[in-house]
Chain A
Amino acid sequence: WKEDLTQKAAEAFLRQQQSAPSLRKLIYGTVAEDEEDEGKAGGELGGLFRVSRPDKESKRKADALDCSKFPVEAPKDWDLDEVMDSIRDCFVTGNWEADKDA
């Protein structure tokens, strides 16, 4: 069973890479995809007119306010016990993992 360990490891790694929703792809994108998008946006109509459809979202983003704060979009109701319980173990007063000591 020892023979193709490296290959097995490589396969396992690839499987893992594919299954996880790739945040990396989301952030960095791939060059091929970008080009494809651009091709679509600047499409020509009947070979004569260019469809001018400014991308509202990207326009707004380009000239948006330069601010580093990360506002909370959907505030939770922190008066509810269930919501409060969701972060209970972030505090020293919460439960500790078995391998760690207070």
Chain B
Amino acid sequence: MASHSHSLNYVGCNFLRQRLVLSTLSGRPVKIRKIRAKDDNPGLRDFEANFIRLIDKITNGSRIEINQTGTTLYYQPGLLCGGSLEHDCSPSRSIGYYLESLLCLAPFMKQSLRIVLRGVTNDQVDPSVDVLKATALPLLKIFGIDGEELELKITRRGMPPKGGGEVVFVCPVKKAVKPVQFTDPGKIKRIRGVAYSVRVSPQIANRIVDSARSILNKFLPDIYIYTDHMKGTSSGKSPGFGLSLVAETTNGAFLSAELVSNPQGEGVAVLPEDLGTDCAKLLLEEIYRGGCVDSTNQSLVLLLMTLGQQDVSKVLLGTLSPYRIEFLRHLRSYFQVMFKIEMKPSDEERKGGEKVLMTCVGTGFSNLSKTIK
């Protein structure tokens, strides 16, 4: 890896994960200054420090320097080594926060990654483990990252603020990523979902299911929402409930939406019926945005397109979020890849909003650290 190349400089704590992930994959060191410099409580937060520890854990030979106040971070990436690991995530962010980055890195390890993550499985801020399981794993498969080992299992559910959940993530390593042409999402053939409740009445999950179905049945008969009530030690330390919905299309695209109840002691109590209908409406919004990949996984798909073999990849996306636009800029500074971006106005009236066709030529990234057996 080109460790002698000069480092990239950024300001502020936003996009910390994508900066570190891209730095690890491209081998370019990164320096981030003025992290919450004007804040009353300056520097890195506990969840960010925790994330850096996780990066340190999965790599070998990384150099991380943080100044005394925590406002400046220098990161020189090492090699991704993977293996069998455990990590206690900070309860201030959910496991999804950490898992999103692991999904980007895991296929490019030396040994296949098997990691046990502990913390909050579902919260209101980050994509939950349920959604990532239902949408990100099929996406990895499209890019040729599959095999029997690819697995994401929730062994314990943990709600904020105390957490106590546990997740096992296993991912095989690949030498290279296939380029893909995925421009037609097809039509939605079924909707699946999980309504979960922990440390509250199991009846709540049924109430969520009924109200969500009442909205979605106007569009489609094939709807099944599982109820998942975890008891005893597998229910974590805090009470809560929620719903995640996934719409699957005929061509294998997955669109998702989710909602979680307010954490114990914060905000007003949420009625399960309202949560169900609101979540169903969020799914309809996501379908309106459309595309072949749902909005949570746009960065993963853009990254895998960039890292593909030297061939053209095309993917149709829904509206680009500001976070993704920043990700595109980062991809350009780390990998010198620019996407061709074409607006596809909705010509037919009843197929949702505008779509964006993203095209790029892969960089021909190959996993040098993978051992050949």
Contact = CB atoms under 8 A, between A and B. Distances in A.
Interface of A: 20-21, 23-24, 26-28, 59, 61-70, 72, 75-76, 78, 84-96
Nearest to B188: A91
A89 B325 contact: no
B295 A66 contact: no
Contact of B12 (A23, A61, A93): A61
Contacts of A63: 12-14, 35-36, 38-39
Contacts of A59: 12, 38
B100 A91 contact: no
A27 to B, nearest CB: 5
A62 B322 CA distance: 13
A27 B329 contact: yes
B11 A62 contact: yes
B351 A87 contact: yes
Interface residues of B, number: 59
Interface string B109-136: 0000000000000000111000000000
B209 to A, nearest CB: 18
A28 B338 CA distance: 8
B224 interface: no
Contacts of A62: 11-14, 34
Contact of B127 (A21, A27, A66, A68): A68
B326 to A, nearest CB: 9
If over half of A's interface residues share one DSSP class (helix, strand or loop), that class is named, otherwise mixed; here it is loop
B259 to A, nearest CB: 12
B1 interface: no
Nearest to B349: A86
Contacts of B324: 70
A11 to B, nearest CB: 19
Contacts of A27: 320, 325, 328-329, 341
B294 to A, nearest CB: 9
B125 A90 contact: no
Contact of A92 (B12, B48, B189, B340): B189
Contact of B350 (A66, A78, A85): A85
A11 B185 CA distance: 32
A68 B323 contact: yes
A44 B113 CA distance: 55
Interface string B213-224: 001001111000
13 contacts: A21-B343, A24-B341, A67-B125, A68-B100, A68-B127, A69-B125, A70-B295, A70-B298, A75-B281, A86-B349, A90-B287, A95-B350, A96-B187
Contacts of B127: 68-69
B323 A90 contact: no
B321 interface: yes
B125 to A, nearest CB: 6
Nearest to A72: B285
Contacts of B343: 20-21, 23
Given A23-B341, A64-B14, A65-B125, A90 B188 contact: yes
A33 B348 CA distance: 37
B288 interface: yes
B95 interface: no
